Chains A and B, each alone.
Chain A
Amino acid sequence: MSLIIEGVVLGIMTGGIYALMASGLTLIFGVLEIINVAQGILVVLGAYFSFWLGQHFHIDLFLGLLIIMPAMFGLGVLLEWAFIRRLRWDRITLSILVTYAIALIIEGVLGFVFTTNFQELHAWYIDAAVPIFGFFVNDVYIIAFILSVVLLGALYLLVYRTSFGRRLRASMQNRTAASLVGIDVPRVQAITFGIGVSLAGAGGVAFGATNAFNPASSYDLIYRLLVIIILGGMGSLSGSLVASLVLVIIGDVVALVWSPVWSSTVFFVLLVALLLFRPQGLFGRMGGRKQ
């Protein structure tokens, strides 16, 4: 029983971090209708950014977010202007190719600059832990989880309580109609992409604080993030949060209680079963978008 509790607690902590990483991906799909395959490497880029700040300027890995998030936002806006905005037709298919190319370039640069040796983010509190229900949880996991909750909460407020959020949701619902009522859709898309990349960077700091990483870590990340947004419903923020928790909790509990060999298998069996009855995912909408 204690193992199950430990699996659930760890799953919630880790799931929060994955929710942060996935939120940017689902937001980008919802507004721009593209699949950003580079999200995984952008998460890793955020981790390396924090690593670099720590190594050269001794900036705490969470305080460094004050630099990392604006910088990643700028990078996102630049990528959207340079590559995504040029996609006029067959956006989904071409976006996969284009963002994959971006991912390969970033991975190559990271490998060249930092080598492929595994790195870890360090802080004076990295080994501190608190006892919960008879086992210990790293302070870093708790801080990363709180960070995820705060940022996801801020994202919710942005999307549902601000005028920009109304414009963003209008663009998600119907890009053409939004444009007709005077919304600057390209500007909304650029800012949204920037927000998505910024969230990836923040997710990278949380990921790097709890995992060793190297440039190749993005491959495992992106498949998990894609599975999360499919399970949660493409374009649904609340769906990505719930799906993250479900994915990680099921994986951790199965690995702890049964066997790590079956961890991924059990999850994917459940995913397929769900999609058979609910192909739009947990919180997605049937019928697709009308343009």
Chain B
Amino acid sequence: MNGRVPKKYLFVVGAVLCTLLLGACAGQSSTTNTSAPTGPIKIGADASLTGDASDDGKAIKQGYELWADYVNHHGGLLGHQVQMIVYDDATRPEQATLNYQKLINVDKAAFVLGPFDDAFTVNGAQVAKKYGYAFVQGTGTSPGDFTHGLTNMFSVSLSASRYMASLVNYILSLPADMRPKTAAYVTSDDGFTSAQVTPVIPQLEAGGVKTVLNKIYPAENTDLNPIAAAVAASHADVAILGTSALSECVSYLKVFKTQRYNPKILIATSGPDQGSSFTQAVGGAKGAEGILVANGGWWPTIKTYQNADFVSAFTQKYGGTADDISSDTVQAFSVGQVLQQAVNQVQSLDNAKVISALHQGTFNSLQGPVKFTSDGQNQLALPYLFQWQNGSLIPVYPQGQAQANLEYPKPAWSS
């Protein structure tokens, strides 16, 4: 060897460098599709269609597909039909990352929408930010979701830390002789559930409600029987359960029923909001009677933007009744609504323009008005308290929107 590099190697190196350079330029320029589409507009999302969170994931997919159908029947998005693409992440956050990359790079989706739950939402928003996409989502509401500097992420739903505000207000509004004396708090360390439960503790303690049990368990814990037994053994007047899935909630309720534990107030962060899936799992309407769930503000008859059409479309397409509609479906539809309004405001499919509009504008949704703070939280969302009464999940607090008085104390389990 004489130390000189053969020309063929220089040619190969140069070709590789040019290819890389072209690829980088293509990656930059293909971040968002700003050219006028000639066919349907592709809008993509990730959802947990299989795995532990499949109930929620399927409900989200229903919401997106309903919204796409609705938009297409009403002139489309900027005159173009919407084609919804939803990929399954099998309840694995890392798969959500891959799905969003595929939606953006392979499917060339014009927009991407949020998945179910916090970890998946953050992963998806990070991918979207990398490619300059707006990321409107409805289920990533834990405080931690808004600490990643994701200026492209917009949560249309009530933030988790404010979910229980109405419960606290209700309890503290009771006369001292009627107010519950003790409370038990159990929650998984999931960001969504612990963010709801943890702020309640000092607020209720300040109001004279003594904490008799406060347990946090790993989210991957599958055996909840001992924890549920501890809650039952505490005989607390108030039981606040930080559950992240229907199956968790049902595990608690089974033990409570067995142990004849009848708290005056029983609330779970997830599970009771799953419509007929919940009532079927707890033995019908009687099993659900009096159970509370915090809600970001939706019920079938609420007079919010496009809600009547939404309920009608849902029952037509999926059957059942309005009470079968999951909150995940509502959140997903709301996401679509907000995106559509932002696109219509700027009359463009440019994600940068849409992001700007989302930061500045006020929008309407099934869940009420939407306006985003600088970190993407919905500052206009109101916390409501819902309760199962006679087979229906109805708003009971604040009283201005209540369809009935809050049933207090909760009726004892019927055998």
| Bound CA span A118–B271, Å | 13
Contact residues in A for B226 (Cβ distance below 8 Å): 7, 10, 251-252, 255-256, 260, 263
Of all chain A residues, the one with the shortest Cβ separation from B250 is A212
A1-13 vs B: 1/0 string, CB under 8 Å? 0110011001000
Q: State the Cβ distance, B80 to closest chain A Cβ, in Å.
A: 34
Whether A116 contacts B258 by the Cβ 8 Å rule is no
- A residues 72-127 near B (Cβ < 8 Å) are 111, 115-118, 120, 127
Partner of B415, one of A7, A127, A251: A127
- A residues 1-41 near B (Cβ < 8 Å) are 2-3, 6-7, 10, 14
Q: State the Cβ distance, B240 to closest chain A Cβ, in Å.
A: 16
B337-362 vs A: 1/0 string, CB under 8 Å? 00000000000000000000000000
Whether B222 contacts A6 by the Cβ 8 Å rule is no
Whether A261 contacts B218 by the Cβ 8 Å rule is yes
Whether B250 contacts A3 by the Cβ 8 Å rule is no
| Bound CA span A176–B229, Å | 51
Whether A118 contacts B215 by the Cβ 8 Å rule is no
Contact residues in B for A214 (Cβ distance below 8 Å): 52
Question: With contacts A116-B50, A135-B259, A136-B259 known, is A256 near B230, CB below 8 A?
Answer: yes
A146 contacts B by Cβ under 8 Å: no
Whether A116 contacts B54 by the Cβ 8 Å rule is yes
| Bound CA span A138–B255, Å | 9
Whether B221 contacts A260 by the Cβ 8 Å rule is yes
Whether B221 contacts A212 by the Cβ 8 Å rule is no
Of all chain A residues, the one with the shortest Cβ separation from B277 is A117
Whether A138 contacts B258 by the Cβ 8 Å rule is yes
A216 contacts B by Cβ under 8 Å: yes
Interface size on B, residues (CB 8 A): 30
| Bound CA span A48–B55, Å | 19
B217-247 vs A: 1/0 string, CB under 8 Å? 1100111011101101100000000000011
B198-218 vs A: 1/0 string, CB under 8 Å? 000000000000000001111
| Bound CA span A94–B94, Å | 29
A173 contacts B by Cβ under 8 Å: no
Whether B233 contacts A212 by the Cβ 8 Å rule is no
Whether A260 contacts B415 by the Cβ 8 Å rule is no
Contact residues in A for B221 (Cβ distance below 8 Å): 260, 263
Most chain B beta carbons < 10 A, residue from A137, A255, A261: A255
A115-156 vs B: 1/0 string, CB under 8 Å? 111101000000101000001111000000000000000000
Contact residues in A for B260 (Cβ distance below 8 Å): 136
Partner of B229, one of A10, A115, A259: A10
Contact residues in B for A212 (Cβ distance below 8 Å): 247, 250-251
B79 contacts A by Cβ under 8 Å: no
Whether A259 contacts B415 by the Cβ 8 Å rule is no
Q: State the Cβ distance, A269 to closest chain B Cβ, in Å.
A: 16
- B residues 247-287 near A (Cβ < 8 Å) are 247, 250-251, 257-260, 281, 283
Whether B223 contacts A251 by the Cβ 8 Å rule is yes
A280 contacts B by Cβ under 8 Å: no
Whether A117 contacts B54 by the Cβ 8 Å rule is yes
Partner of B246, one of A111, A118, A129, A261: A118
| Bound CA span A136–B228, Å | 13
Question: With contacts A136-B258, A136-B259 known, is A6 near B233, CB below 8 A?
Answer: yes
Contact residues in A for B247 (Cβ distance below 8 Å): 118, 212
Contact residues in A for B281 (Cβ distance below 8 Å): 120
Most chain B beta carbons < 10 A, residue from A115, A135, A260: A260
Would you list 23 pairs from A and B whose C-beta atoms are within 8 A, ordered by A residue?
A: A3-B230, A6-B229, A7-B226, A10-B225, A10-B229, A115-B54, A116-B50, A116-B51, A120-B281, A127-B258, A129-B259, A135-B229, A136-B260, A212-B247, A220-B222, A255-B227, A256-B233, A259-B215, A259-B216, A259-B217, A260-B218, A261-B217, A261-B218
**A-B pairs, 5 with minimum CB distance:** A255-B226, A260-B217, A118-B247, A252-B226, A129-B258
Binding site for B on A (CB under 8 A): 2-3, 6-7, 10, 14, 111, 115-118, 120, 127, 129, 135-138, 212, 214, 216-217, 220, 251-252, 255-256, 259-261, 263
Taking A3-B233, A14-B225, A260-B215 as given, write out 11 further A-B residue pairs in contact, using a Cβ cutoff of 8 Å, ordered by the A residue number: A6-B229, A10-B226, A118-B246, A127-B258, A137-B258, A214-B52, A255-B226, A256-B226, A259-B215, A259-B217, A260-B227
